[in-house]
Structure 1
Amino acid sequence: MVVVTKALTLADFHAAHALIAEMGQWDVAQCGVHGLPSEGVISAYYSDDAASLLEKCTLPSTGMYLARIGSVALGCVSHVSHGNVAEIVKLFVRPEGRGKGVGARLLATALDAIEESKCRKVNLVTVSFMTSAIALYRNFGFQECEPFEPAPKGLEGVTRYMERVTK
């Protein structure tokens, strides 16, 4: 049975870091498959170590969540808030957890925490080749929106911005 918990300990953040590193390698590989530049992807999006994740994701109005079966981490998601706007970041599910509702459980958990924080809007950034993720986001009420931050150089054509108004 998949259990989703908030990351609280350094061990939790080591597990999250391992997942995020996998996500980064997948992202770089997908850039190559799609003929996109991958230089700077790791440093821009995946450079935090476990200690810095712990520091960032235990601040007020932030959170990191892990999905596990037993002691095996299958996925993670985090959120950060800037005033009354939250952002979903680092949603990743290992291949063995895909198609089993793990991503939906993680996203629902993060959105529940965001709703409690009284944020009025939730943003996220994805890329057009992450079709399963985009479908998941749409199922949760996210819609494409105007850019709210610059796209990474060379990825402007595939970067997608999405938002959802909270309940």
Structure 2
Amino acid sequence: MSTIRVALGNPRDAQATALLRASHALMQALFSAEDNHFLSIDDLCAPNVCFFVAKEGDTSLGCVALALKEDYAEIKSMFVHPDARGKGIAHKLMQAIEAEARAHSIAEMKLETGDTLHQAHSLYRAHGYIDCGPFGDYEESPASLFMTKTLA
């Protein structure tokens, strides 16, 4: 059995791009255009974004981004390939981005996720995230769930 490792990656890497496109397609199938808040691949390459990939061997199985804001960091683009779910990959990705946030002296993490993404809600709650109101440029929407966590 090979080990899952998480490391900084490039959203333009072919495997990472494939994961992001699969994530975007899923979000577009589930939510209206105005309720989709995913970042484009170009936006994920911005200097204030740390992009992580989870790999098993040479195969990318999941990804997540950490967008560094002035007084918090936002989780973006959390996605694990459906065939790789149940291996703890999302938990490893969460640990990596929280460690990265701490390395940047970020005290608060925030996220927006879809109201029907119950597995995502469970993941975030398992990592100590609690519901909160909209933040940044987000507006209140029945299709969105906003969560926050203060890092120790």
Are 1:45 and 2:47 matched, yes or no?
Answer: no
Pairing 1:141–2:132 present? no
Measured after TM superposition, the shift of residue 84 of structure 1 is 2.5
Aligned to 1:126: 113
**Could you list the runs of 5+ residues in structure 2 that have no partner in the other structure?**
none
- Residues 26 and 106 of structure 1, relative CA distance in 2, 3 Å threshold: same
Matched position secondary structure for 1:45? coil
Compared CA separation, residues 139 and 75, structure 1 to 2 (3 A): same
8 Å CA contact 2:115–2:144 kept in 1: the answer is yes
Match of 1:2 in 2: 4
Which runs of structure 2 are paired with 1:25-104 in the superposition (5 Å)? Answer: 25-31=25-31, 38-39=32-33, 45-49=38-42, 53-54=44-45, 56=46, 59=47, 62-104=49-91
Q: Does 1:105 align with 2:105?
A: no
**Cα distance in structure 1, aligned partners of 2:19 and 2:30:** 16
How far 1:41 sits from its partner (Å)? 6.1
Residues 86, 46 of structure 1: CA spacing in aligned structure 2 closer, same or farther, 3 A cutoff?
A: closer
Amino acid at match of 1:161: F
Task: Flag as ranges the 4+ runs of structure 1 deviating above 4 A.
Answer: none
Deviation at 1:8, TM superposition (A): 5.1
How has the CA–CA distance of structure 1 residues 23 and 41 changed in structure 2, closer, same or farther, with 3 Å as cutoff?
farther
Deviation at 1:18, TM superposition (A): 1.7
Q: How far apart, in 2, do the equivalents of 1:47 and 1:104 lie?
A: 23
Shift, 1:47, TM fit:
3.2
Letter in 2 for 1:150: Y
User: Which residue is equivalent to 1:150?
Assistant: 138
In structure 2, distance between residues paired with 1:146 and 1:41: 15
Aligned residue identity for 1:18: A
CA distance in structure 1 between the aligned counterparts of 2:118 and 2:35, rounded to whole angstroms: 19
Post-superposition CA distance 1:92-137 (Å, at most 9, x none): 0001111110000011101111011111110000011110111010
Q: Normalized against structure 1, the TM-score is what?
A: 0.80
Contact 1:16 1:66 in 2 (8 A): yes
Q: Does 1:159 align with 2:150?
A: no
Q: Check 1:115–1:134 CA distance in 2 against 1; reply closer, same or farther (3 A cut).
A: same
CA spacing shift, 1:41–1:118, aligned 2, 3 Å: same
Structure exhibiting the larger radius of gyration computed from Cα positions: 1
Letter in 1 for 2:33: E
The amino acid of 2:90's aligned partner reads G
